[in-house]
Amino acid sequence: MLDLSPHNPVPELNRTSFQSFRTIGIAKANELFARWLMAICILVLAGLFLPWTQNIRARGTVTSLSPDQRPQTIHSIIPGRIEEWFVQEGQLVMKGDTILRLSEVKPEYFDPRLLDRTQEQITAKELTAKSYDEKVRSLDAQIDALSGAMRIKLEQTRNKVQQARLRLQSDSIRVIAARTAIRVAEEQLARGEQQFKEGLVSKVELERRQVAQQQANATLIDAQNQLLDARNELLNAELEINGVRNDYRDKLSKAESEKFASLSQRYTTEAEVSKMQVDLANYTVRAGNYYVTAPQDGYITKAVVTGVGETVKEGDPLVSVMPARFDLAVELYVRPMDMPLITKGQKVRFMFDGWPSIVFSGWPNSSYGTFGGKVAAIDNFISPNGKYRILVAPDTNDQPWPDAIRVGGGAIGFALMSDVPIWYELWRQINGFPPDLYTEPEHVGIKTEQEK
């Protein structure tokens, strides 16, 4: 048993008294290890103060920046039966090239001369409309003639009324003259009788005066009869005016009724012509849809419907086409926690699938095989996967993206944030804080404006 009491210390071993210790010498391993450990600690401590570029990592896929340059599916506009294919999968087609031909499946379009027959019907309807138009013109001429005849007839009738009034005035004057003549004849007869009694005139003279008085009575009666006739003629002339006006109004109303009926028939025919022209245009467009053509230059990637004789419905997919010319972009999905830190124009570094790269996420300038991009668009609504979608376009000031990249390939993006010390980044990662959003100091912006 060892004696470890301080009162009984173990005697110190004299190493020089042994040949083996003298041969080995004093070991320097402990001293070397201590030096290395101290140097490593100093390096680690100094490394904690090295700059580190914060970033947000997200996976995505390669796509096209413009919607019209992305893969698309050509659908059938009309129902039909596939009769012939003109392309193969993987073939390059130009805009307007025929891809396949369809035939009609609806009975109402089976007539091979459907367009010609429809055009003939339109021509016949147009001629009908022209005939109604000519009839309307004839009725307008008839109405003008009736209006002119009515004016002439009314003028003639008014002249008759004026003549009847003048005759009435003349007959009235004759009656007055006849009454004056009777009065004079009666006075002369009375004087003649008195003179005959006194012997101043002869019997013959008295008889002559009696005859004159009777003639005056007859003249008055005749004048009164003529006056009554003149009054009747005036009344008849005034009634004739109303009769003429009513008669011609009836004729004009009948002619105008026929005119409006012809106009209605013409408008109905023109409406039928317009409808038939719409049908003809639809038939023409439908006939053009029998041939399915390429909407733009691209490659036939996949035939959704295969074979000949297969029937497709309206809106069914036929083939998928990849545009030949496209502007690459990367579609990334960012967590909602990191979304407020993404801004339009922000720089992003990429690793593309199948492209060799060595990445130091904290030191992007030291990475190899990565490519630069800038945020081009940010969605304002969350995607079904619970993340926000952003589109990143190539950075024109950076290395061009490889030509071998194709739409649909995978990519990993690093959205670059602010530069912080490594110790701060470790502390942030341990606490689960989001990266710091880099904002340019306000005085820099003011200075820039002043410089401008």
Give CA torsion, residues 76, 81, 87, 90, to 10 deg.
60
Q: Where residue 435 sits, what CATH number does that domain have?
A: 2.40.30.170
Indicate if 133 and 261 belong to the same structural domain: yes
Query: Do 199 and 296 fall into the same domain?
Result: no
Local mean pLDDT, 10-residue blocks, the chain (452 residues): 55 62 59 78 76 72 84 89 90 91 88 87 89 88 86 82 78 76 73 70 70 74 77 79 83 87 89 90 88 90 86 90 86 82 81 64 55 86 86 85 81 70 71 57 36 36
In a domain, 21, yes or no: no
149 and 202 together in one domain:
yes
Q: Do 211 and 165 belong together in one domain?
A: yes
Residues 296 and 284 in one domain: no
The answer on 358 and 262 residing in a single domain is no
Range of the domain at 158: 114-288
Residues 180 and 142 in one domain: yes
Taking the C-alpha atoms of residue 392 and residue 399, their distance in angstroms, rounded to an integer, is: 15
230 and 123 assigned to the same domain: yes
Buried-exposed string 282-292: b where 16+ CB fall within 10 A, e elsewhere: ebeebeeeeeb
Domain closes at, from 288, 303, 337: 288
pLDDT for position 110:
84
Cα dihedral 278, 284, 290, 293, rounded to 10, equals -100
CA diameter of the chain: 230
Give me the pLDDT at residue 8, please.
58
Whether residues 123 and 256 share a domain: the answer is: yes
Same domain, 85 and 234: no
Number of domains into which the chain is organized: 3
| Residue whose pair of structure tokens reads 């070397």 in the numeric block | 32
- Asked if the structure places residue 42 within a domain, the reply is no
pLDDT at 438: 44
3-state helix, strand and coil shares in percent for the chain, rounded to the nearest 5: 50, 20, 30
Together in a domain, 193 and 221: yes
